[in-house]
Structure 1
Amino acid sequence: MVPTNSLARAPERLHALDAVRGYALLLGIVLHATISFVPAPTRFWIIQDSHPSLTLTVMFFVIHVFRMTTFFVIAGFFGHMSFHRRGGAGFIRDRLQRIALPLIVACPIVFTAVVPVANWAANFPNGGPPPGAPGWPPVLPAFPLAHLWFLYVLLQLYAATLLLRAGIVWLDRDGRIRAVGDRALLWAMRSPLAPVVLAVPIGIAFNLDPRWLVWLGVRTPDQSLITNAQALIGFGTAFGFGWLLHRQTDLLKILEQRWLFNLVPAIVLIAVCLDLGFIRPPLPAPLRFVAATCYALAIWTTTFAMIGTALRFLSGYSGTRRYLADASYWMYIIHIPIVLTLQVAVSQLDWPWPAKFAGILLVAIPVMLGSYHLLVRHTFIGAVLNGRRIPRRDANVGTAANSAAM
Structure 2
Amino acid sequence: MKVLSIDASRNVDSVPFRSADPGTVAGKPRHGGLERLRVMATLGVVLLHACVPYLKHPMPGLAWPVRDTPSEWLDVTFWAIEVFIMPVFLVMTGMFAWQTLQRRGAADLMRTRLSRLGKPFLFGMMVILPAELYIWVGGWVYEGWVDAVKLKSLKIDGALGNSLWGTSHLWFLLYVLSYVGIVAGIATWMQRNPAEKRYRFIQQPFGSRVALILLAGIGICTLCFRPEVVWGFQHDFLPVPSKWIYSGTFFLGGMWIVSQDKRLHRIQTLTRPLVITAVMSLGAAVAVGRWHLAGHQPDTAMSQASGILLGTTTTLAAWAVSLAAIGFFQAQERPISKKTQYVAAASFWIYLVHHPLLGLMHIDTKFLLPQLPSLVKGVFCFLAALSVSLLTYEAVIRQSALGRWLGMTWSPKPETSGADNADPVILKHLETAATPRRRAA
Displacement of 1:254 in angstroms is: 1.3
Distance 2:190 2:334 in 1: 34
Distance 1:176 1:135 in 2: 47
Contact 2:397 2:403 (8 Å CA) reproduced: yes
Distance 2:202 2:115 in 1: 33
Structure 1 residue aligned with 2:55: 38
Which deviates more from structure 2 when the two are superposed, residues 20-29 or residues 366-375? Answer: 20-29
Contact 2:55 2:75 (8 Å CA) reproduced: yes
Contact 1:52 1:353 (8 Å CA) reproduced: yes
Distance 2:62 2:364 in 1: 18
Q: Select 1:281's aligned residue among 287, 295, 299.
A: 295
Contact 2:95 2:256 (8 Å CA) reproduced: yes
Offset from partner CA, 1:248-300 (integer Å, 9 cap, x none):
33461111121121121222122222222233326322222112111111111
Give, as a single letter, the amino acid of the residue that structure 2 aligns with 1:224. F
Distance 1:341 1:240 in 2: 36
Alignment CA distance shift 1:111-1:219 (3 Å): same
Contact 2:106 2:188 (8 Å CA) reproduced: no
Q: Select 2:140's aligned residue among 113, 118, 122.
A: 122
Distance 2:177 2:73 in 1: 35
1:307 aligns with 2:320: no
Q: Select 1:109's aligned residue among 127, 136, 140.
A: 127
Displacement of 1:199 in angstroms is: 1.3
Displacement of 1:131 in angstroms is: 5.3
- Describe the SS at the equivalent of 2:195: coil
TM-score normalised by L of structure 2? 0.78
Displacement of 1:382 in angstroms is: 3.4
Structure 2 residue aligned with 1:382: 403
Structure 2 residue aligned with 1:93: 111
1:259 aligns with 2:271: yes
Contact 1:45 1:130 (8 Å CA) reproduced: no
Displacement of 1:77 in angstroms is: 1.3
1:334 aligns with 2:353: yes
Structure 2 residue aligned with 1:2: 2
Which deviates more from structure 2 when the two are superposed, residues 370-379 or residues 148-157? Answer: 370-379
- Describe the SS at the equivalent of 1:404: helix
Alignment CA distance shift 1:274-1:390 (3 Å): closer
- Describe the SS at the equivalent of 2:48: helix
1:224 aligns with 2:226: no
- Describe the SS at the equivalent of 2:127: helix
What CA RMSD, in Å, does the superposition of the two structures yield over aligned residues? 3.1
Contact 2:107 2:184 (8 Å CA) reproduced: no
Displacement of 1:396 in angstroms is: 5.7
Alignment CA distance shift 1:56-1:37 (3 Å): same
Alignment CA distance shift 1:244-1:269 (3 Å): closer
Contact 2:365 2:377 (8 Å CA) reproduced: yes
Give, as a single letter, the amino acid of the residue that structure 2 aligns with 1:176. Y
Distance 1:341 1:35 in 2: 13
Count of aligned pairs between the two proteins:
387
Displacement of 1:148 in angstroms is: 0.4
Displacement of 1:223 in angstroms is: 1.7
Alignment CA distance shift 1:367-1:169 (3 Å): same
Distance 2:142 2:132 in 1: 16
Distance 1:250 1:130 in 2: 51
Displacement of 1:126 in angstroms is: 7.5
Q: Select 1:161's aligned residue among 169, 174, 183.
A: 183
Displacement of 1:134 in angstroms is: 4.8
Alignment CA distance shift 1:257-1:296 (3 Å): same
TM-score normalised by L of structure 1? 0.84
Structure 1 residue aligned with 2:159: 132
1:67 aligns with 2:89: no
- Describe the SS at the equivalent of 1:44: coil
Identity value in percent: 20
Structure 1's unaligned 5+ residue stretches are: 189-193
Give, as a single letter, the amino acid of the residue that structure 2 aligns with 1:198. L
